[in-house]
C-alpha cells in the first residue's frame, strides 16, 4: 500500500462519490459526458483534488510549509485537469498541440515540482522565498571556489541520470515492482534489454558494488529526510 493508493482509495474516491451522490440527490448533473459545467468541475473534481493533496501535505509533516506544498500540488493538478478539458476547444489541432506541448509540458511540470520541493524542504516561507530568488539569480551568481565548468559538469551529470537513465520501476518492469504498475508504451527505457534487471552475474556485481559503497559511507554525516516529523 503506497501513500498514493491510500489517498485515492480512502480520501479522493469516497469524497468524489459522496459529492456525486449529493449532487444527484439535489437534481444537479454529474461531471461527465457533456455535463461539464464549472460548478460540477469545482465540486466534483477540483475540491476533492485540493482536499486530497491537503491531506497529503499534513501527512508529510505538521509544519505549515508541508500544508502549502500539498495545496500547491492540488492547485497544479486542478489546473492540469481544467486545461485537459479546455484544450480541445482552444487548440483543435491535436498533432500540432502534442508537438508543442510535449517539451513545453515537461518544462512546466519540472519547474513547478522543483519549485514546490523548495517549499517542502524549507523551514519557513521566508527561507523558501530566499532560495527561490537565489535559484533565479536574484541574489547574484557566485562560483568562486567551484568554477563554472564544475557546475556545468555537475548539472549535466545529474540531468543525465534524472532524464536519460531508467528509474527503478522501469528497471524492474518485467516483475511488476509495484502492484498494478505497468510501463507506458512511450517509456523507451523499458525496451532496452540491458536496462532491465535480471538474475545475472553482471547485475549481481553491480548491486554488490552499490551495497558496498553504501556500507562504507554509513559513518558519514547524513540527515534523514523525515527526521523532524
| pLDDT tens digits, one per residue of 122-153 | 989 999 999 999 888 887 777 666 777 888 89
Q: Mark whether 118 and 211 lie in a shared domain.
A: no
Of the candidates 74, 155, 78, 80, which has an alpha carbon nearest to the alpha carbon of residue 116?
A: 74
Domain count, the chain: 2
Looking at the domain assignment, is residue 156 inside a domain?
no
- Is 119 in contact with 125 (CB distance < 8 Å)? yes
The per-residue pLDDT for range 10-38, each reduced to its tens digit, is: 999 999 999 999 988 988 877 776 667 88
pTM value is: 0.77
User: What is the per-residue pLDDT for 135?
Assistant: 85
Q: Mark whether 124 and 171 lie in a shared domain.
A: no
The per-residue pLDDT for range 91-106, each reduced to its tens digit, is: 888 888 888 888 999 9
Looking at the domain assignment, is residue 150 inside a domain?
no
Looking at the domain assignment, is residue 15 inside a domain?
yes
User: What is the per-residue pLDDT for 164?
Assistant: 83
Look at residues 119, 135, 151 and tell me which one is the last residue of a structural domain: 135
Q: Mark whether 119 and 205 lie in a shared domain.
A: no
Sequence length of the chain is: 229
Domain containing residue 60: 3-135
Q: Mark whether 86 and 186 lie in a shared domain.
A: no
Place 46 in a pLDDT band, splitting at 50, 70 and 90.
very high
The residue-averaged pLDDT of 40-68 equals 91
Report the mean per-residue pLDDT for the chain. Answer: 84
Looking at the domain assignment, is residue 160 inside a domain?
no
User: What is the per-residue pLDDT for 13?
Assistant: 94
User: What is the per-residue pLDDT for 190?
Assistant: 45
Q: How far is CA 54 from the centre of its chain?
A: 15
Of the candidates 188, 187, 212, 207, which has an alpha carbon nearest to the alpha carbon of residue 197?
A: 207
Amino acid at each position: 500500500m503506497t501513500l498514493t493508493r491510500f489517498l485515492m482509495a480512502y480520501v479522493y474516491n469516497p469524497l468524489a462519490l459522496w459529492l456525486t451522490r449529493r449532487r444527484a440527490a439535489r437534481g444537479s448533473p454529474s461531471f461527465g459526458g457533456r455535463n461539464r459545467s464549472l460548478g460540477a468541475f469545482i465540486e466534483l473534481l477540483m475540491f476533492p483534488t485540493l482536499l486530497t493533496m491537503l491531506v497529503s501535505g499534513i501527512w508529510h509533516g505538521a509544519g505549515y510549509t508541508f500544508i502549502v506544498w500539498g495545496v500547491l500540488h492540488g492547485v497544479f493538478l486542478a489546473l492540469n485537469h481544467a486545461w485537459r478539458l479546455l484544450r480541445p476547444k482552444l487548440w483543435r489541432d491535436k498533432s500540432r498541440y502534442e508537438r508543442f506541448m510535449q517539451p513545453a509540458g515537461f518544462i512546466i511540470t519540472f519547474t513547478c515540482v522543483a519549485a514546490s520541493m523548495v517549499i517542502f524542504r524549507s523551514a519557513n516561507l521566508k527561507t523558501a522565498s530566499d532560495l527561490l530568488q537565489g535559484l533565479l539569480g536574484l541574489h547574484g551568481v557566485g562560483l568562486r571556489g567551484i568554477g563554472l565548468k564544475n557546475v556545468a559538469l555537475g548539472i549535466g551529470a545529474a540531468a543525465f541520470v534524472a532524464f536519460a537513465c531508467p528509474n527503478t520501476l522501469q528497471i524492474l518492469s518485467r516483475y511488476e515492482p509495484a502492484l498494478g504498475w505497468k510501463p507506458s508504451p512511450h517509456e523507451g527505457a523499458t525496451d532496452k534489454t540491458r536496462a532491465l534487471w535480471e538474475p545475472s552475474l553482471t547485475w549481481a556485481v553491480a548491486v554488490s558494488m552499490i551495497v558496498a559503497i553504501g556500507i562504507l559511507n554509513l559513518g558519514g554525516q547524513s540527515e534523514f529526510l523525515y527526521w523532524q516529523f
